[in-house]
DNA sequence: GCATGATCATGC
DNA sequence: GCATGATCATGC
């Protein structure tokens, strides 16, 4: 037994008060000597050390909350700092493992998820590269309970995950399936950690419930009392989510009123007068349809890490453009595993597509769609990512240089994959990132910024045309 | 006409 | 200054 308890285990106020003393301290500040006298060897994670040496209980993996008497679960999570000094979550917050064989028997209100994670005590620390975890500074500490609105959405998410398990599709679960509560992969190498599922003989990846990174950012803003961003809600009263309606249905029904109308007509029907030359014209129109004021961000989409994409289709239904993602840094991508890659992370998100189509010189709203990529397509996209990494690591990037100076590369072309390709995405040829090793043909040590693109034909066939 | 490489323009 | 959405230009 560790006796370093400065709190009353039967009082949540006392526990929180004791926890808040951690602010602006590091693990070494708080319990350095004790850690050394107990032979701390650098193993174990931040949370386990805090539990053992500060709160004085042995880390466990039981289904009950850590502070059983008051039903509070302790969670620690890393922060990063933006250039403007605001805190953001470095990652999603991983909760308890989904026991496929048991959860299908549960109902949300009495579920193992809610029992263990309904009331959290959160300790956020500043994660810094190349610094010993004993020296990370703890910055934000507070309790967290979900608001009524959030809990309705989380319940829908939980039920969606359960439904998939009941249908024997645990192996097809994906983070992009849900809004705030995700089913994220969990295990040192996710490839190796497969589990049985109750209604299918196929093994399914081990997954845990998790709060989406965007949701954690809202918790952080809440705790830090940071209210710089202006948000507007789609769901103004939680009662709207009563009964069978999901947030998806509600959003889609708002758009359906305007299907087959031109952007201009929609604008007038909404009583707006937007600047059509503005780069954000379509984003503004989307927000207005959802009932938001100009300049507001969509709170629910932000919390759910939803990628909103407006796509313009030609008359024949082909998107005018491929869809781009952020550029990758050559030096970073070669040091990254697929499971930790930005590309995988973004492909696992939920997307909201708004399709406009050209018709007689006008753009009309054709349809909107929530979409996330299937597990099998994510694996196909991995092939493109693997090849890209291989090309950069080997230094065989440039294939030939035309007399005009135009350079042909070995990067995966559109014709090589149904799903994705790699192309430049830069201000101009001088807009470059450093290469980890010089290009074999030319010897250049930096190259024009590139990014992954979703093929226009994939967007048409798999997103626009399907069901 | 399409695929691929190159660049522009706006807004934060 | 840069990210992002959008578009242009060239060669097959």
Closest to A103 in 3D by CA, of A94, A116, A91: A116
- Å from A432 (CA) to B12 (C1')? 21
Lowest-pLDDT range of A56-65, A180-189, A194-203, A439-448: A56-65
Question: Is A406's CB less than 7 Å from nucleic acid strand B?
Answer: yes
Which protein residue has its CA closest to C1' of C3?
A326
Q: Is A86 exposed, middle or buried (0-12, 13-18, 19+ CB in 10 A)?
A: middle
Which protein residue has its CA closest to C1' of C2?
A427
Which protein residue has its CA closest to C1' of B7?
A428
Q: Check if the beta carbon of residue A355 is closer than 8 Å to that of residue A259.
A: no
Query: Which nucleotide shows the minimum CA-to-C1' distance to residue A407?
Result: B5
Q: Is the pLDDT of residue A59 over 80?
A: no
Question: Is A301's CB less than 7 Å from nucleic acid strand C?
Answer: no
Q: Is the pLDDT of residue A76 over 70?
A: yes
Q: Is the pLDDT of residue A187 over 90?
A: no
User: Can you give the pLDDT at residue A33?
Assistant: 66
Question: Is A421's CB less than 7 Å from nucleic acid strand B?
Answer: yes
| Tokens representing residue A141 in the block | 């500490």
Q: Is the pLDDT of residue A1 over 50?
A: no
DSSP structure class, residue A148: H
Question: Is A277's CB less than 7 Å from nucleic acid strand B?
Answer: yes
Q: Name the more confident of A227 and A316.
A: A316
pLDDT digits (tens, 9 = 90+) for A266-297: 988 988 888 777 777 888 888 889 888 877 88
Task: Report the share of chain A in percent with pLDDT over 70.
Answer: 93
Q: Is A443 exposed, middle or buried (0-12, 13-18, 19+ CB in 10 A)?
A: exposed
Give mean pLDDT, residues A12-16. 92
pLDDT digits (tens, 9 = 90+) for A25-55: 988 888 766 666 555 555 458 888 888 888 8
Q: How far apart are CA A228 and CA A245, in angstroms?
A: 31
pLDDT digits (tens, 9 = 90+) for A116-125: 999 999 999 9
Q: How far apart are CA A358 and CA A418, in angstroms?
A: 24
Give mean pLDDT, residues A432-437. 93
- Å from A13 (CA) to B9 (C1')? 54
Sign of CA dihedral A365, A366, A370, A376: negative
User: Can you give the pLDDT at residue A55?
Assistant: 87
Question: Is A245's CB less than 7 Å from nucleic acid strand C?
Answer: no
Q: Is the pLDDT of residue A2 over 50?
A: no
Q: Which nucleotides of C are covered by protein (CB under 7 A)?
A: 2-7, 10-12
- Å from A115 (CA) to B3 (C1')? 55
Closest to A65 in 3D by CA, of A118, A25, A107, A15: A118
Q: How far apart are CA A400 and CA A406, in angstroms?
A: 9
Q: How far apart are CA A337 and CA A163, in angstroms?
A: 31
Q: What is the CA radius of gyration of chain A?
A: 25
- Å from A96 (CA) to C3 (C1')? 36
β-partners of residue A122 are A75, A142
Q: Check if the beta carbon of residue A206 is closer than 8 Å to that of residue A193.
A: yes
- Å from A413 (CA) to B3 (C1')? 8
Q: Is the pLDDT of residue A326 over 80?
A: yes
Q: Is the pLDDT of residue A239 over 90?
A: no
A3: pLDDT confidence band, cut at 50, 70 and 90? Answer: very low
Q: How far apart are CA A150 and CA A152, in angstroms?
A: 5
Which protein residue has its CA closest to C1' of B10?
A279
Query: Which nucleotide shows the minimum CA-to-C1' distance to residue A427?
Result: B7
Q: How far apart are CA A134 and CA A329, in angstroms?
A: 30
User: Can you give the pLDDT at residue A48?
Assistant: 85
Q: How far apart are CA A129 and CA A122, in angstroms?
A: 22
Q: Is the pLDDT of residue A414 over 60?
A: yes
Average pLDDT value over all residues in chain A: 88
User: Can you give the pLDDT at residue A186?
Assistant: 85
Question: Is A324's CB less than 7 Å from nucleic acid strand C?
Answer: yes
| Tokens representing residue A392 in the block | 């950069």
Query: Which nucleotide shows the minimum CA-to-C1' distance to residue A323?
Result: C5
pLDDT digits (tens, 9 = 90+) for A91-109: 899 999 999 999 999 999 9
User: Can you give the pLDDT at residue A32?
Assistant: 66
A188: pLDDT confidence band, cut at 50, 70 and 90? Answer: low
């Amino acid at each position: 037994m560790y006796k370093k308890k400065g709190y009353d285990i039967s009082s949540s106020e006392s526990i929180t008060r004791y926890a808040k003393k951690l602010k602006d301290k590091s693990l070494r500040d708080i319990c350095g000597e004790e850690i050394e006298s107990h032979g701390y060897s650098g193993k174990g994670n931040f949370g386990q050390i805090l539990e053992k040496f500060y709160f004085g209980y042995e880390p466990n993996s039981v289904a009950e909350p850590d502070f059983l008497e008051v039903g509070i679960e302790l969670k620690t999570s890393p922060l990063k700092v933006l250039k403007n000094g605001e805190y953001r979550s470095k990652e999603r917050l991983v909760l308890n493992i989904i026991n496929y064989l048991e959860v299908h028997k549960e109902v949300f209100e009495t579920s193992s998820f809610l029992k263990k994670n309904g009331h959290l005590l959160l300790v956020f620390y500043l994660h810094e590269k190349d610094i010993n975890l004993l020296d990370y500074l703890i910055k934000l500490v507070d309790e967290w309970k979900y608001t009524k609105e959030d809990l309705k959405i989380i319940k829908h998410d939980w039920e969606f995950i359960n439904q998939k398990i009941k249908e024997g599709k645990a192996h097809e679960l994906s983070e992009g399936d849900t809004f705030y509560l995700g089913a994220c992969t969990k295990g040192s190498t996710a490839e190796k950690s497969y589990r049985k599922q109750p209604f299918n003989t196929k093994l399914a990846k081990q997954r845990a419930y998790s709060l989406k990174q965007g949701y954690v950012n809202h918790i952080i803003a809440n705790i830090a009392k940071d209210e710089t961003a202006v948000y507007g809600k789609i769901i103004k009263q939680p009662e709207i989510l009563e009964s069978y309606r999901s947030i998806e249905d509600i959003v889609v029904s708002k758009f359906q009123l305007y299907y087959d109308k031109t952007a201009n007509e929609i604008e007038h029907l909404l009583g707006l007068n937007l600047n059509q030359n503005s780069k954000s014209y379509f984003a503004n129109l989307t927000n207005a349809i959802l009932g938001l004021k100009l300049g507001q961000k969509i709170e629910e989409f932000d919390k759910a890490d939803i990628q909103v994409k407006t796509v313009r289709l030609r008359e024949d239904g082909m998107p005018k453009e491929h869809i781009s993602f952020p550029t990758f840094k050559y030096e970073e991508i070669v040091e990254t595993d697929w499971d930790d890659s930005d590309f995988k992370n973004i492909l696992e998100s939920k997307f909201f597509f708004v399709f406009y189509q050209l018709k007689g010189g006008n753009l009309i709203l054709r349809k909107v769609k929530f979409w996330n990529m299937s597990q099998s397509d994510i694996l196909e996209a991995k092939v493109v990512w693997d090849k890209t990494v291989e090309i950069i690591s080997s230094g065989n990037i440039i294939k030939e240089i035309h007399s005009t100076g135009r350079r042909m590369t070995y990067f995966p072309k559109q014709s090589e994959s149904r799903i994705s390709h790699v192309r430049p995405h830069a201000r101009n040829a001088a807009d470059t990132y450093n290469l980890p090793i010089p290009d074999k043909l030319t010897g250049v040590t930096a190259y024009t910024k590139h990014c992954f693109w979703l093929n226009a034909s994939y967007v048409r066939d798999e997103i626009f045309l399907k069901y």
